[in-house]
Structure formats: C-alpha cells, structure tokens
Structure 1
C-alpha cells in the first residue's frame, strides 16, 4: 500500500469560538461593566447570534472562573476577594520561581531566549502607541513563554488561568504613569539574569516583578 501523505486541516473558527473569544476579551479588558448582570438574550442580541453559542461560551467562562451565575438573573464578572488576590500571587510566585530555575538549567544558548526579547520589543512599540491592551496581552505572552521554554505544560495551563484572574483585578493599573516602563525593565532584568545563568538573581527578579505587579493592582483597586 502506498504511503498516504496527510496534511494538517486548517480549522475555521466556529461561531461558538468567535463568541467565546469576543466575550473573554471584553471581560479581561474592561469591555463589560464589572457590576452589571448579563443574560443570554442580551449577549446574543449584542453579538447578533443565537443563544446556543452564547450559552456554551458562558459555561466555558464560568468554568474558567471569569464569570459567575446569579440565580434567575444571569451572569456577572467574577469579583476577586482580597483573600483570593493573595492566593493568586502566592501561586504565581511559587510556579514562576520554579519556571525560571528550570529554564536556566535547560537553556544552552542566549539564542533560545531571543523570543522573550522579541516580546519585550513589541511591548516597547505598544508603549509608543499608547496601547495598554496590547501591552497586557504581551505581558501575558512573556510569562507563558517562560513556562513553555521551561517545558512545564501543566504549569502553563495553571498559569494561563492565574493570568486571567490577575487581569480581573484591574487593567487600569498598567496604565498607571510609569508602570509600563517599570514592567519593561523588569522583563529585561529577568532575561539578563537567565542569560548569565544566575539562578538566585533570576528568582529575585521574578519575585520582585510579581510583587510590584501585585502592589500596582492593589493600589489601583484601593
């Protein structure tokens, strides 16, 4: 029997996928008022689609912890409690410390970290364009890429959800004057410490970066 050459099938986004991604982006980047209750009908009308993909998207977003059900009323954006804030950053710190430690072990050449430098350069462009949403997306990409390079797929999944919850704590914090520049410098310091193979310094840099992020978010909320 002749060998059959199979080619990957390009999957088109379904209506459900499009609804899910639009709703998630609106939740994470302030497109929905945080104190408002939404119904399937309202969201379906706004998105000009049927209720079925909206219902499926809502169920997924509830599972991810971004939306909560209000009995007999609809759904609303999850509110992060002070206790949850502490837990989120405790988990992020624990995970990301292990990420940079392992990354230093597996990186054999500075070229392997080039993808992180490219993300930082894109963040510089986002600052120049005053695009806070793009900056946040790239910040998320930076941390996920660290985990991916360290070859921690399960941690990557956990960190993905933790980043989503972090964003619920406030987009405005990153718009705070000077914070974006600090984030940029902190990312560069993390990369430099890993290029030098300095595990202790890398851990210190990632912990300081997360602590600064936490303080900026809490100050914004207060």
Structure 2
C-alpha cells in the first residue's frame, strides 16, 4: 500500500510537471527533490516510479529528466484517442439509457466558474472516461485512461489558453444532447471534431512558439 507521504510527494511533483514549474528536459535527482518536498529519498523514489510509468519523466543514468514535449507523439496519441472514443461511443448507442446519460451530465457539471484549472482538467478527463464507459468495454476504458495520462501535460497547456475550458465544456454538453437525441452519426462526428480541434490548437500553439519555448528551457521534440 502506498503511504500518504508518498502519495503527497507524487501529487506535488505531478502538479509541478503538468503546470510546467518543472521544465521539460530538467534534471531531477532524489536528493534535490527530497529537499524541495521536505521528505525522504525513499518517498521521492516511489513518486518518481509512478511519474515514470505515466511517461512524465524518463530515467537517464542515475537521475531522471522531465520528459520533453514530443509533438509527433502528441498527434499520434490524439489520433488514438479519436479511434478509441468514437468506437466506444458507437458501441454504447444500442444500450445507453437516459439515466446513464443524466449521470454523465451531472458529473460533468459539478464544478463552477471559480474552479481551478486542475479541477477542470480532472472533470474533462472524467467526462471522456465516463462516456467511454457507457460502451461497457473495460479494455477500451483502460486504454483511454492510459492515453489520457500520457497527454495530461499537453492537455494542461491547452487548457491554460484563452477560452479553452469553456469551449471544451460546451462541446461536452452538446455531445450529450446528440446522444440523447439518438443521433449516432452526428454524435460520432462531433466527438471526432472535438478531439481534433483540441489537438490542432495545442500542436499549432507549440509549433508557433517553438523558439520561445526553447529559450525558456522547454525541450519540444518534432
């Protein structure tokens, strides 16, 4: 069982990476992180193992680095998301009930305008996982959870952009309206477009600002 201190260290480091307080390419050592978090190297080691499993850091010799932002990997991951999520949506149509849709909608609307970016990101992630769960296919859900973890930092950067959170939430609610109206093709098209727009906004922003990102220490691989 993971100790409370290890869980806290993991959460603090993960938030620092997602929020780009720890820069892509930055070297991480157990000693320095232990001082930063005021905790033991053993605790830090457990947190680093979880972050490595999520693809947020990479082992290099005796230390770790924050994983660079890889634009090609981001594009591939978003394409994989679209295949998974649209497929799951179509699988769900024959059996989805109004009660299950209402449950997904309620969970998608739990936070208000003053909610933090992190909480909004958690809500958006949960929405996509809940939606895929309507298919009843556990393998699809697990695969989606994995790819969303690997896209977490990219999606965080996108969410910090102007109006991204509001657009995303409106898209989610409209998608549920289409499912409730039994418009399968329209819902599938809308979901695919929603994922593609998200990918395009993020990748274009990173490409446009590649020089600036590099000067600030962010390693952006193409």
Q: Under TM normalisation by the shorter chain, which class is it?
A: 0.7 to 0.9
Match status 1:29 vs 2:19: yes
Tell me the TM-score normalised to structure 1 length: 0.83
Q: Compare CA radii of gyration and give the structure with the larger one.
A: 1
Give 1:30 shift: 3.0
* RMSD (CA atoms): 2.1
Give 1:192 shift: 1.0
Counterpart-to-counterpart distance in 1, 2:132 and 2:206: 28
Counterpart-to-counterpart distance in 2, 1:121 and 1:170: 19
Q: Helix, strand or coil: the match of 1:134? A: helix
CA contact (8 A) 1:15 1:53 kept: yes
Between 1:150-159 and 1:208-217, the stretch displaced more is 150-159
Equivalent in the alignment of 1:112: 100
Give 1:41 shift: 0.9
Match status 1:46 vs 2:36: yes
Q: Helix, strand or coil: the match of 1:69? A: strand
Q: Helix, strand or coil: the match of 2:65? A: strand
Equivalent in the alignment of 2:198: 213
Equivalent in the alignment of 2:76: 87
The total of aligned residue pairs comes to 207
Between 1:159-168 and 1:92-101, the stretch displaced more is 159-168
Counterpart-to-counterpart distance in 1, 2:92 and 2:3: 34
Equivalent in the alignment of 2:48: 58
CA contact (8 A) 1:169 1:221 kept: no
Tell me the TM-score normalised to structure 2 length: 0.83
Question: What are structure 1's unaligned runs of at least 5 residues?
Answer: 1-10
